[in-house]
Each structure stands twice: as C-alpha cells, then as structure tokens.
C-alpha cells in the first residue's frame, strides 16, 4: 500500500548538510503494522512528516496505492491526505483547545462526507468515541477536561474519522503512564484489525514495537540498518545497533536476582 524508494530529506544549515533521512526504502502492506524504531534524532519523525507531505522531500519516491505523492500540488495533497492520517506524540498540543470534541471530530468526518446534517454528524461522532472507548455523552467537553490517555484516544478517533487507509503513529504512547500505554497499544492493534488499516508505528522502544508490529525497520543516522519480521528483528538481530537497542529494553528482575 505504501512504498518508499530511496527517500532522502536533507537540511542545509550553517554547519553543513544534515542528512536526516538518507536513502530509505521500505514498504507497508495493506492491513499490516510496520514498527519504525531508533533513538531520538535518527530521522524517524522527519521520515513520517515526509510521508505526510508536511515536509518536502529532497529526493526519492513516496507512493500510496501506486500514486506518487511527491509530485502532487498542495490542493491535491489535502485531498489525498484523507487516506493517510497521523497521531502525534502530544495529544493536547495536537487538539484545538478552543474546540469541543464534537467540533473536532465532526470537522474530520465532514472532510470525507461533505455537508452532512448535525444529526448524522452527532451519530458518527458518537460511534467514533465509543470505538475508542469514550462515552458519547462527553462529546461537548473540551480537551483540557480529559486525562492524557483520554486525549490520545480522542486524537486516534480524529485520525480514523476520515476513514483513512494508512495511519502514522509518531511516539503516541511515550508521554503516557505505563498502564495507559498498554491500553492505547491494544486499542491501536484492535482498530488496525477491525478497519484493516496499514500503520507505521514510530518509537524508540524496541520492546513496545515488537509487541505491536508485524514487521520492524531500524533507523540509525538517517539510514535503515535492519528490517525484517518483528520476531526476527527482536529475537535474531544481525545489526550491532539493533542489539544495543535490545539491551536498552527494560527488564524486570526477579526478587532473587536483585
């Protein structure tokens, strides 16, 4: 469904060229989750913003369902962006604090379905909220009236509202408590299965990525250093950097080992 070929994004600074993304090629099949993992500054978020067409690429190809995104006009990108949505790390920053949850989700629904009645919009918003585990009776509340985990659920509801084919989730659980992280991860997995979504899940935590993803791609200094099935990369890594990431995964020691 998504195919990146020799994708590069370079930034020109007074200190020289920063090769944030340097010749990345990967694919995301229909209905599969690709885990993109690496330390902060390795280029993961830059790559996601290139796919979303929030940043222009320096070179390379981005194809969604065989359509080249990098050559589209801004107007065409906005139209196609209904098919690929993003969930950001900080849900409070990505939700408009002056809009109710109903207004936020109804706006996203109308992007796909046009001018629908308020009754139909209310029904669709209620369904979206219930899908992500929030009672519909709260749709007239504002983002600040929800917890961090609830706000992330709302951000996910907004992402699926236009009925996309691909979701990019950029560190969506790193700012949440561990107990809430597992709820959001399970929600993403359930939605991916129910809606047959393709997904890129971005994280610095290889353990989290292994739990969720079908395949894993490891980035280091703008390049892919290892790709494969989630089990192969997690249990049988071949790259030294991947092994370092695995060693950084927190492990719970038994009382007798402490």
Domain spans, the chain:
2-90+164-251
| Of 34 and 79, more confident | 34
Q: What is the pLDDT of residue 70?
A: 93
CA-angle at 26, arms to 226 and 73, nearest 5°? 145
- The band of 256, judged by pLDDT with boundaries at 50, 70 and 90, is very low
Tokens of 182: 């597992």
Q: Is the pLDDT of residue 122 over 80?
A: yes
Q: Which pTM value belongs to this model?
A: 0.88
Residue 100: C-alpha distances to residues 78, 109, 134, 154, 239 (Å): 23, 14, 14, 11, 47
pLDDT of 60:
96
**Can you give the pLDDT at residue 159?**
93
Superfamily of domain 2-90+164-251: P-loop containing nucleotide triphosphate hydrolases (3.40.50.300)
> What is the average pLDDT value for the chain, to the nearest integer?
90
60-105 tens-digit pLDDT: 999 998 999 999 998 898 888 889 999 988 888 889 999 999 999 9
Tens of pLDDT along 189-224?
988 998 899 999 999 888 889 999 999 999 999 999
235: confidence class by pLDDT, cuts 50, 70, 90:
very high
């Amino acid at each position: 469904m998504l195919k990146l070929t020799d994708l590069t994004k370079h930034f020109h600074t007074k200190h020289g060229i920063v090769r944030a993304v340097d010749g990345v090629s990967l694919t995301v099949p229909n209905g599969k989750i690709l885990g993109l993992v690496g330390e902060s500054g390795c280029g993961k978020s830059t790559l996601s913003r290139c796919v979303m067409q929030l940043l222009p690429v320096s070179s390379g190809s981005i194809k969604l369902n065989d359509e080249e995104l990098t050559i589209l006009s801004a107007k065409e990108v906005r139209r196609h962006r209904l098919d690929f949505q993003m969930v950001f790390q900080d849900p409070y920053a990505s939700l408009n604090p002056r809009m109710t949850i109903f207004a936020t989700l109804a706006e996203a629904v109308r992007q796909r379905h046009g001018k629908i009645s308020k009754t139909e919009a209310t029904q669709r918003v209620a369904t979206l909220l219930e899908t992500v585990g929030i009672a519909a009776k709260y749709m007239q509340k504002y983002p600040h009236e929800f917890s961090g985990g609830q706000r992330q659920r709302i951000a996910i509801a907004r992402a699926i509202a236009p009925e996309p084919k691909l979701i990019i989730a950029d560190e969506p659980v790193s700012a949440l408590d561990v107990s809430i992280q597992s709820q959001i991860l399970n929600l993403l997995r359930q939605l991916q299965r129910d809606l047959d979504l393709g997904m890129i899940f971005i994280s610095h935590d290889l353990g989290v990525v292994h739990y969720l993803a079908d395949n894993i791609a490891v980035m280091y200094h703008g390049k892919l250093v290892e790709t494969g099935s989630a089990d192969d990369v997690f249990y049988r890594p071949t790259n030294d950097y991947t092994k370092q990431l695995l060693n950084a995964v927190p492990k719970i020691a038994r009382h007798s080992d402490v």
